[in-house]
Amino acid sequence: MDIKSFYIELGRLAYAIARADGIIQSEEVDRICDLIGQEIENSGDDSFDKRDVILGAASEFNRLRTENASARQAFTGFTDFIAANTALFDSRTKNLCMKVALRIADANEGVNETESALINKLKQKLDAVNS
C-alpha cells in the first residue's frame, strides 16, 4: 500500500463526512485540500510528490461528488479500506483520520447530529483496529 492510496481513501472519508448531512458545502470542499496539504507538510516525509497526493485526495472527493455517491457508500468504502489495511492504522494514522473527519464536519456551521453519528462510527472502527 502506497501513501497516495491512503490519501485517496482519506478523500473518500472526507466526502462521506461532508455528505452526511445531505449537502456538500463549498467550505467542506476547500477544507479537504487544506487539511491534507497541512498534514503532508507536518509529516516531513519527502518520499512522495506532495502535490500528487493532494490532487489524488481531491480527485476522489470530486469523483464521488460527481457521481452523487451517498455518505454510506463512501463511508463503507473507507471502512473496507481500514479492514484491508489494518497494519497501516497506527495511532498517528487513526488520529489523522479523526482530525480530518472532525474538521470537515466543523467546516460549515459546526458538527451536526448526522455528522456526529458518522464520526462516532468512524471512531469505533478505528478503535477496533489493532486493539
Q: CA–CA separation, 121 vs 16, rounded Å?
A: 12
Q: CA–CA separation, 95 vs 86, rounded Å?
A: 14
pLDDT at 131 over 80: no
pLDDT at 76 over 70: yes
**CATH number of the domain located at residue range(s) 3-128 in this protein:** 1.10.3680
The set of residues, in sequence order, having a beta carbon less than 8 Å from that of 16 and lying 6+ positions away, is 71, 72, 74, 75, 78, 118
Q: What does pTM read for this prediction?
A: 0.89
pLDDT at 1 over 60: no
Confidence of residue 44 (pLDDT cuts 50, 70, 90): low
